[in-house]
Chains A and B, each alone.
Chain A
Amino acid sequence: MDASIAGILMLDGVTNGAVYGLLALALVLVFAVTRVIFIPQGEFVAYGALSLAMLQFGKVPGTLWLMAVLALVAALLDAVDALRRGLPATTLARNAARTLIAPAIVVALTVWAAPQKFPLLVQSALAVAIVTLLGPLVYRLAYQRLADATVLVLLIVSVGVHFALTGLGLVFFGAEGFRNPSFWDQRFTLGPLALTGQTVIIFAVSIALILGLFLFFERTLRGKALRATAVNRLGARLMGISTIGAGKLSFGLAAFMGALSGLLIGPTTTVFYDSGFLIGLKGFVAAIFGGLASYPAAALGALMVGVLESFSSFYASAFKEVIVFTLIIPVLLWRSFQHGHDDEEE
């Protein structure tokens, strides 16, 4: 191995690490706010990339109808709840409107825009919108009623949601994979390194998103409300913060980051309906670095996972996955020596 090969491997690792980083941040966010270990995070990646691929063919992606159906079911459940509690009809209508208005707009826009084959950026925005709306709906339907259940119950629900979303992905997109066109075809050479425009975009978007999240948590009321919920659910509720709202918001953010990751990796690899799972798992390994609590540690972990993966694919490609996932054992050991057992649940 010489410096140029090491450089290329490093670049490849950091590029993949940036995507894992986004997923790790989303996992930490969701876990901190709702205590859900969100296994289906990877599905949002595949959904994002494949929805865009469908739009590229001028077809309406199946995810759109999934989103519409989930929104209708959610509105129906809300209405039943409201009726049972004897709330007035105006509240009922207002709730339904709040649940349905964004999905209705996106459905109308997509159905109108899909056959027109708009430029790539417009289609990407649509794909992200569809998948982002799925996030809060998944929370509403799968987790909201169980918000106070144990972490284990929530984890089991996550496994169920993962299987459901993967199966639906097969129905929507078929078994074959797709590769999206590159957002930016420019190539740069930096000594022995060849940078593609897509790599630059991956870095730029990841950094922008991390900065954006930082500002959101530090500067906005909603961001602070999320942090408060993460620190102490009961306390936050006593202060008038809606934990349900916080849950939906965190799932929305997670879905948004997942979809965006999907768009980022879509042009660099072939994405299958079930590709998301493995990518999401690597994000999970990274999130473990931060003990599912620390954002900077998770981001750092993601870079490490990416670089380790890239170097192990060079040295021992047959054992690449083994090496990456074995990493979790020393990390867990180190964490348990570091912190003892004080962070036991409940």
Chain B
Amino acid sequence: MKASIRLALALAAACAAAAAQADITIGVSIPLTGPTSALGIPSKNGIALWPTSIAGEKLNVIILDDATDPTVAVKNTRRFITEDKVDLIVGSAATPLAAAMSDVAAEGQTVQLMLSPVNLPPGKGAWSFRMPQSTAVMAIPIVEQWKKLGVKTYGFLGYSDAYGEAWLSDIQPLAEKAGIKLIATERFARPDTSVTGQALKLVAANPDAILIVASGSGAAMPHKGLVERGYPKGKLYQTHGAATMDLIRVGGADVEGSFVSSGPAVVAEKLPAGNASKALGMKYKEEFEKAYGKGSANQFGAHAFDVVIVLNKAVPMALAKAKPGTPQFRAALKEAFETMGRTPVSQGVLNWTATDHFGYTPETGVLLKVVNGDWQVVP
């Protein structure tokens, strides 16, 4: 299947490349198969809704499947740079893959818009910008809520992978500053069939709150496991990776009253009127749900939607300096991203600078509570 998709896309790309040279070409490499396809498929659905032109220039989009394999992701990136001569690379939606791609993008001096919140060591990723919020930004609403409720201690139950580690390392300094101590750290993996051992230990430590770090429907199992061991639902906190309806669908009554940190897009209509992302988020939801059915909107589609917003702002700035398809245009695009300033998108307010390629401002995150099988914004 993969081979045939690739062949079809390659043919389409070849035709498109022959048709017009000066168009803006975007190479997208995302996981459509493999363990992280749950992130890649909704991203692709969002990309399918992209306009056909940006700032008057025709848009060519080449989508390749990276199969959740870093080797394939790197190969795709090299192809984008050497064969397709793209102006911009988008992807991957999986963290380890996006990190692997960033070196190639920098080497090829092509801007990469990552669809996952990758933490890169200093000096790396000069050409890589993130569309999703950093875990550090998303941890803010949770810690704020803890401060408000007088939480003194918390426990951690997270994926034993990069996502879990990023949360653990990002929330600790924030919580420490607020005088909240981490007293129990437990880990699990998505395919695990039970978290009884971890839950027993966490409940025995009896922290004032427990943070569960997992994604999608995989976040429900540990949640149910903790509730089963008698931990109160109202003290459980989930991350933005779990802020989809799948958590409520699988978790049912056990997630009722629990808290989830989320980007603003998925709950756009429930945001207060003054929120900068409200209108954009509602526009995203309307477009996405018109195409894919009610309740289908999610944060991954929103990141794809936001790519268009930042391009609409940055491409005219870059066009003023150079023509698409040239190294000068790619450099101008990077400069435009770094200098365009505060940009409200459906997932928050971006402010990329030469030193900060995450760029989300602290007011971005929203804390949600599950009430009657739906989200409610915690003021």
The chain A residue with its CB closest to the CB of B40 is A175
Interface string of B189-205 (1 = CB under 8 A from A): 11111111110110010
Q: Does A317 touch B at the CB level, under 8 Å?
A: yes
Q: For residues 264 through 296 of chain A, which have their beta carbon under 8 Å from a beta carbon of chain B? A: 265, 268-270, 272, 274-275, 277-279
* Residues of B with C-beta under 8 A to A312: 197
* Residues of B with C-beta under 8 A to A8: 196, 200
The chain A residue with its CB closest to the CB of B157 is A317
**In the complex, A152 Cα to B253 Cα: how many Å?**
49
Q: Tell whether, in the assembled complex, residue B194 and residue A310 are in contact, meaning their CB atoms are under 8 Å apart.
A: yes
Which of B189, B191, B246 has the most C-beta atoms of chain A within 10 angstroms of its own C-beta?
B191
Contacts A176-B216, A270-B250, A317-B186; A277 near B200 (Cβ below 8 A): no
**In the complex, A313 Cα to B197 Cα: how many Å?**
5
Q: Does A325 touch B at the CB level, under 8 Å?
A: no
Contacts A9-B197, A272-B191, A314-B201; A175 near B218 (Cβ below 8 A): no
Which of B41, B189, B196, B204 has the most C-beta atoms of chain A within 10 angstroms of its own C-beta?
B196
A19 to chain B, nearest CB (A): 8
**In the complex, A272 Cα to B215 Cα: how many Å?**
13
A14 to chain B, nearest CB (A): 11
Q: Does A5 touch B at the CB level, under 8 Å?
A: yes
Contacts A16-B193, A167-B1; A270 near B198 (Cβ below 8 A): no
**In the complex, A177 Cα to B37 Cα: how many Å?**
12
* Residues of A with C-beta under 8 A to B1: 167, 171
Q: Tell whether, in the assembled complex, residue A317 and residue B188 are in contact, meaning their CB atoms are under 8 Å apart.
A: yes
Q: For residues 32 through 76 of chain B, which have their beta carbon under 8 Å from a beta carbon of chain A? A: 33, 35, 37-38, 41
Q: Does B160 touch A at the CB level, under 8 Å?
A: yes
A280 to chain B, nearest CB (A): 11
**In the complex, A178 Cα to B217 Cα: how many Å?**
7
Q: Does B336 touch A at the CB level, under 8 Å?
A: no
B70 to chain A, nearest CB (A): 18
Q: For residues 1 through 24 of chain B, which have their beta carbon under 8 Å from a beta carbon of chain A? A: 1
Q: Does A239 touch B at the CB level, under 8 Å?
A: no
**In the complex, A111 Cα to B369 Cα: how many Å?**
40
Q: Tell whether, in the assembled complex, residue B197 and residue A310 are in contact, meaning their CB atoms are under 8 Å apart.
A: yes
Q: Does B220 touch A at the CB level, under 8 Å?
A: yes
The chain A residue with its CB closest to the CB of B67 is A167
Q: Tell whether, in the assembled complex, residue B191 and residue A277 are in contact, meaning their CB atoms are under 8 Å apart.
A: yes
Q: Does B283 touch A at the CB level, under 8 Å?
A: no
Q: Tell whether, in the assembled complex, residue A314 and residue B194 are in contact, meaning their CB atoms are under 8 Å apart.
A: no
Q: Does A222 touch B at the CB level, under 8 Å?
A: no
* Interface size bracket, B side: 20 to 34
Q: Does A311 touch B at the CB level, under 8 Å?
A: yes
B80 to chain A, nearest CB (A): 24
Contacts A170-B33, A175-B37; A317 near B198 (Cβ below 8 A): yes
A304 to chain B, nearest CB (A): 16
CB-contact partner of B220 in A167, A179, A315, A321, under 8 A:
A179
Chain A contact residues: helix, strand, loop or mixed: helix
A276 to chain B, nearest CB (A): 9
**In the complex, A167 Cα to B204 Cα: how many Å?**
41
Q: Tell whether, in the assembled complex, residue B38 and residue A176 are in contact, meaning their CB atoms are under 8 Å apart.
A: yes
* Residues of A with C-beta under 8 A to B189: 320-321
**In the complex, A312 Cα to B196 Cα: how many Å?**
11
A238 to chain B, nearest CB (A): 44
* Residues of B with C-beta under 8 A to A16: 193-194
Q: Tell whether, in the assembled complex, residue A9 and residue B217 are in contact, meaning their CB atoms are under 8 Å apart.
A: no
**In the complex, A179 Cα to B192 Cα: how many Å?**
13
Q: Tell whether, in the assembled complex, residue A313 and residue B218 are in contact, meaning their CB atoms are under 8 Å apart.
A: no
Q: Does B187 touch A at the CB level, under 8 Å?
A: yes
**In the complex, A76 Cα to B246 Cα: how many Å?**
42
CB-contact partner of B204 in A5, A270, A277, A318, under 8 A:
A5
Q: Tell whether, in the assembled complex, residue B200 and residue A270 are in contact, meaning their CB atoms are under 8 Å apart.
A: no
**In the complex, A320 Cα to B35 Cα: how many Å?**
20
Q: Tell whether, in the assembled complex, residue B204 and residue A272 are in contact, meaning their CB atoms are under 8 Å apart.
A: no
Q: Does B221 touch A at the CB level, under 8 Å?
A: yes
Which of A167, A272, A277, A317 has the most C-beta atoms of chain B within 10 angstroms of its own C-beta?
A317
Interface string of A244-277 (1 = CB under 8 A from B): 0000000000000000000001001110101101
User: 9 tightest CB-CB pairs across the interface, nearest first?
Assistant: A313-B197, A314-B197, A175-B38, A177-B217, A12-B196, A278-B191, A318-B187, A269-B193, A175-B37
Q: Give residues in A with beta carbon < 8 Å to B.
A: 5, 8-9, 12, 16, 19, 167, 170-171, 174-179, 265, 268-270, 272, 274-275, 277-279, 310-315, 317-318, 320-321
Can you pick out 21 interface pairs between chain A and chain B where the beta carbons lie within 8 Å of each other?
A: A8-B200, A12-B194, A12-B197, A16-B194, A19-B193, A167-B1, A176-B217, A177-B218, A177-B220, A178-B217, A179-B217, A268-B193, A269-B192, A272-B218, A275-B191, A310-B194, A313-B197, A314-B197, A315-B197, A317-B198, A320-B197
Could you list 7 further interchain pairs (A-B, Cβ under 8 angstroms) beyond the known A270-B220, A321-B189? Answer: A9-B200, A167-B33, A170-B37, A175-B41, A176-B217, A272-B191, A317-B186
